[in-house]
Amino acid sequence: MTQSARVVAQAKINLLLRILAREASGYHSLETVFLRLDLGDDVRVRITAGRSLDCAGPAVPAEGLGPIERNLAFRAAGAYANAVGWPSGFAIEINKRIPVGGGLGGGSADAGAVLRVLDAMSPTPLGQDLPALAAELGSDVPFLTAEHGMALAWSRGERMLALPALEARPTVLAIPPISIWTSEAYGWLAQDRGGYTPAPRAYTLADFASWERAVAAARNDFQPVVARHRPQVAELVDEIAAAGAELSMLSGSGSTVFGIFREAPDAAQITRSIGCTTLVTSTSTRVVSVELDE
């Protein structure tokens, strides 16, 4: 049995993010379109006697990532071990490049990568049952565990329809010096809406069959309410659009704003004009495969 394997945990953006009714459990149903980016964290898992997690890299904040027991990648490995009865021990190593807490699914991507790596090494792999386990960890994790470059998802993210990935486009990520907790964004949304009955609009594969249609259908329910509480977000959306982006939108619940361009933009000029950290990457047409170590 292979004792270690690795994979790139790719970030994601949401071309569509509708927050629907709140369930009795407290969770909100979603309707969303996920799209992977080339940007990703390097994740390696080794089978060991104990259990450990080591995170380093340029995206790790100065204050660290908090207690290991709360880390989503560590929890994913524990959940897999409980479900399968293997492994008893593991060592997870993550080189972080995805900004933390920016709405790009970095923690979820790491969790999905750990699940994929463990299943590739497992003596009793879960296979098609892996997304169901992923759904217990968060609404982004099923997609980031699956082998889809792009997908339309509902409920808590566990119901997915794979979509043909759109052609790769240069993507600018603007990362303001503010953090927005997901729970905070949901709280603002609840205050804004009061009693809420979602519109019956349902999206289909045809709405995202081309970039032109995707841009027309793009929507993020968090964006207007987050922008009212954090005006920097609205400014970034406008500035990236002014730089020539086809689509400029808040990523997830924020605080990162992404811009999709037809041609590679002048990243240095954008950075100077918006006055905050930027990363240049690309939307992705593929899912990086797990590599088993010799």
Query: Could you tell me whether strands 4-22 and 219-220 are parallel, antiparallel, or unpaired per DSSP bridges?
Result: parallel
Rounded to an integer, the average pLDDT of 233-244 is 95
Q: What digits encode the pLDDT tens for the residues 121-169? A: 999 999 999 989 999 999 899 999 999 999 999 877 678 999 999 999 9
Percentage of the residues of the chain whose pLDDT score is greater than 70: 93
- Is-contact 248 234, C-beta < 8 A? no
Give pLDDT, residue 1. 60
The predicted model gives 27-40 an average pLDDT of 89
Nearest to 256 by CA among 161, 208, 207, 185: 185
What global pTM score does this model have? 0.93
> Could you tell me which residues are beta bridge partners of residue 165?
none
**pLDDT value at 254 more than 90:** no
Q: Would you state the pLDDT for residue 125?
A: 97
> Average pLDDT, stretch 226-231?
94
pLDDT at 196 over 60: no
Q: Whole-number mean pLDDT of the chain?
A: 91
Residues with a known catalytic role: 12, 140
Mean pLDDT of 16-36: 80
Is the pLDDT reported for residue 198 higher than 60? no
Q: What local confidence, expressed as pLDDT, does residue 224 receive?
A: 93
List all residues 6 or more positions away from 123 whose beta carbon is below 8 Å from its beta carbon.
1, 86
d(CA 218, CA 255): 18
User: So what's the pLDDT on residue 154?
Assistant: 87
The pLDDT value recorded for residue 126 is: 97
Mean pLDDT of 206-223: 95
**Given this model, what pLDDT does residue 183 score?**
84
Residue pLDDT, tens place only, 165-195: 999 999 999 999 888 888 898 889 888 876 5
Domains of the chain by start residue, with CATH: 4-163 (3.30.230.10), 170-282 (3.30.70.890)
Q: How confident is the model at residue 235 (pLDDT cuts 50, 70, 90)?
A: very high
CB 104 within 8 A of CB 143: no
pLDDT of residue 68: 95
Q: For residue range 44-95, what is the model confidence (pLDDT) as tens digits?
A: 999 999 999 999 999 998 888 889 999 999 999 999 999 999 999 999 999 9
Which pLDDT score is estimated for 104?
95
Q: Are 226 and 254 in contact (CB under 8 A)?
A: yes
Nearest Cα residue to 233 out of 172, 169, 179: 179
